[in-house]
Structure 1
Amino acid sequence: MKSSVINRSVDWRDRLRQYVYLMRLHRPIGIFLLLWPALWALWIAGNGRPDPVIVAVFILGVVLMRSAGCVINDYADRRFDPHVRRTCDRPLAAGRVTPGEALILFAVLCGLAFVLVLFLNRLTIALAFVAAFLAASYPFMKRYTHLPQAYLGLAFGWAVPMAFAAQTGAVPAVAWWLLLATLLWALAYDTMYAIVDREDDLRIGVKSTAILFGRHDRLIIGLIQLAMLAVLAWVGRLAGLGEGYWAGLLAAAGFMAYQQWLIRERDPGRCFQAFLNNNWLGAVVFLGILLDYL
């Protein structure tokens, strides 16, 4: 009897651990990459004083939706991941979580996120349905287009118009420009990420910008980064931001240069390091916005 109780306890803890791994909560980089554009938008929309309740809703919503995105991504890739070195040990790929469990977890996470959105206005609720569609459909894009990284940028960037809608009740032009900057940013950093898997993706028939760009990948990433900086500069002009913001953009340019140095030999480990470094890039842009309003 005592042994049975202990086994059930161990099983419960193991199931919870596998769900944490499936949601990638042990690797929060995706949460930060989704969160920074939302915070950029909230602070600009709120003129440096966003509603604390709205900020809390968005932070929790980011955690939930990023977790849901990881779950549905692994469900979509459950037949590909066992053949990729970086992903073969994921819970679904390794058979430690069933596809049915993954779908239930995805539905629960989306349901919780939707409950959070109900605290916001009608426009934000309407935009949330678009966000849910983008999150659910993104994992399947790599089967049909070499630009799934751009689609990811749209999915991650959709928090921007939602933030403006929640804070102001409208989505002005500056919000769409900030969405474009976020899309360009994701296109750059996720291409760095895709370089890590390029050989495996070619072998199993998965599409990516790393494959599409080929030997011109570094050049194109650099051009995308410059375009992102230009769009962020225009956002600063539209929003009337000053010296603190420009200092943040200068720091962001420094991180972009460092990332180019990291990926110069296309070493998978260094490319992954460059991808992770984008957390700091997003942070300094937010710090610039924060300091300018202060």
Structure 2
Amino acid sequence: MTDLASRVADAIGNWVDTRAPVWSRPYLRLARLDRPIGSWLLLLPCWWSAALACALARDVGRLPMILALFFVGAFAMRGAGCTWNDITDRDLDAKVERTRSRPIPAGQVGVPQALAFLVAQALIGLAVLLQFNRFAIITGISSLLIVAVYPFMKRITWWPQVVLGLAFSWGALMGFAVVLGQIGLVGLFLYAGSIAWVIGYDTIYAHQDAEDDALIGVKSTARLFGEQTHRALVFFYGLALLLIGTALTLAGSGVWAWVGLAAFAANLAWQIARLKIGDPALCLRLFRSNREAGLMLFAGLLVDALVVRF
């Protein structure tokens, strides 16, 4: 099989395809380093919570190191999670146009090699976690059960996006665990708001595969909502804003945090207005725009933390 034929269908033209050593490309694709958007979406709640917790503690001295460690940990653990997902979904992936070119169903990597790669990535994540306090370590390890069961949820429930939200939003708790050694109401509201956000953006993402999913019996909120997706997004994105806004209120956040939330809200509204569920390329573009949305919220929280400290 030529490398051109082995490229993943929705990730063509990235640095993995053009610059990485040929032997490494299947593993980098397993870790989704050819499509890092998911790593960013896992990272952003971590960064939100770190900035908000540092603002509460009125101490930003450790913030740069915490942000850097979260960056490494999020990319490592997202890669491990995707590798696990590809191992468990290898038979389903072979039946879907967009995913049949992934390394395992395409025959580029065997399951034993994928498992070894998963362990290597998980060890990097563990090394990051061990830099934190005991409570944060326990909090981080507690997320693994959710990560482990997520790939199976699409087989048994119409709401796998909720389980993904529980996993991808875990970072909204981690900042408080690391900085404050506890998780209070601010952290819980931020976590709940992030879950609602994940349900919304992953519903958009799932519309890319809705037809194939229907053929093979895979469930998703995209299939559940169907033509009512816009209304569902209004609900879930609106709920996300309400819950995150509640977290900011409880934290006594300043104007810059609210400016960040307003920019975040504007992007979410733009997604709903633009969405056409029958256009897979547009769905992917709108899904990816959530990185910019999350970064705008983070920027507001970061500036607010700096203003509070100085």
Range class of TM-score, shorter chain: over 0.9
Where in structure 1 do 4 or more consecutive aligned residues deviate above 6 Å?
Answer: none
Per-residue deviation at 1:64?
A: 0.5
Which residue is 2:75 aligned to?
63
**Deviation, structure 1 residue 191:** 0.2
Unaligned runs of 5+ in 1: 1-11
Alpha carbons of structure 1 residues 50 and 195: separation in structure 2 relative to 1, 3 Å? farther
**Which residue of 1 is the match for residue 27 of structure 2?**
19
Does structure 1 conserve the Cα–Cα contact (< 8 Å) formed by 2:204 and 2:277? no
Q: Do structure 1's residue 215 and structure 2's residue 227 form an aligned pair?
A: yes
Whether 1:35 aligns to 2:47 is: no
Alignment-mate amino acid for residue 91 of structure 1: P
Q: CA offset at residue 292 of structure 1?
A: 2.2
Matches within 5 A, 1:257-276: 257-264=269-276, 266-276=278-288
Deviation at 1:215, TM superposition (A): 2.0
Q: State the SS of the aligned residue for 2:182.
A: coil
User: Unaligned regions of 5+ residues in structure 2, if any?
Assistant: 1-19
The correspondence for 1:72, drawn from 84, 87, 93, is 84
Give the secondary-structure state (helix, strand or coil) at the position aligned to 2:131.
Answer: coil
- Cα deviation, 1:198-223, whole Å, max 9, x if unaligned, reads 00001011111111112211110111
CA contact (8 A) 1:262 1:271 kept: no
Does 2:157 correspond to 1:149?
A: no
Aligned pairs for 1:104-143 within 5 A:
104-143=116-155
Q: How does 1:81-100 map to 2 (within 5 A)?
A: 81-100=93-112
RMSD: 1.5
Residue 29 of structure 1 aligns with an amino acid whose one-letter code is: I
CA distance in 2, matches of 1:101, 1:13: 17
Distance (whole Å) between structure 2 residues aligned to residue 82 and residue 50 of structure 1: 48
CA distance in 2, matches of 1:106, 1:64: 9
Give the Cα–Cα distance (whole angstroms) in 1 for the partners of residues 232 and 144 of structure 2: 30
Judge conservation of contact 1:218–1:264 (CA < 8 Å) in 2.
no
Kept in 1, the 8 Å contact 2:173–2:188? The answer is yes
Show the counterpart of 2:15: none
TM-score w.r.t. the length of structure 2 is 0.88
**Which one is further off, 107-116 or 62-71?**
107-116
Match of 1:201 in 2: 213
Q: Per-residue deviation at 1:253?
A: 1.7
TM-score (norm 1): 0.92
- One-letter code aligned to 1:220: A
The number of equivalent residue pairs is: 283
1:181 is displaced (CA, Å) by 0.8
Q: How far, CA to CA, are the matches of 1:165 and 1:182 in structure 2?
A: 17
Inter-CA distance 85–50: structure 2 relative to 1 (3 Å threshold): farther
Opposite residue 59 of structure 1, the aligned amino acid is F
Contact kept? 1:43, 1:50, Cα under 8 Å: no
Does the 8 Å contact 1:127/1:162 carry over to 2?
Answer: yes
Displacement of 1:110 in angstroms is 1.0
Contact 2:45–2:170 (Cα < 8 Å) also in 1: no
User: Which letter maps to 1:25?
Assistant: L
- Offset, 1:265: 5.1
Which of 192, 201, 222 aligns to 2:204? It is 192
CA contact (8 A) 2:194 2:244 kept: no
**Identity of matched residues, %:** 38
Is 1:243 paired with 2:251? Answer: no
Q: Deviations over 1:68-100 (max 9, x none)?
A: 011111111100111111111111110111111
Paired with 2:243 and 2:74, the residues of 1 have a C-alpha distance of 24
Alpha-carbon contact 2:207-2:277 (below 8 Å) kept: no
Residue 8 of structure 1 corresponds to: none
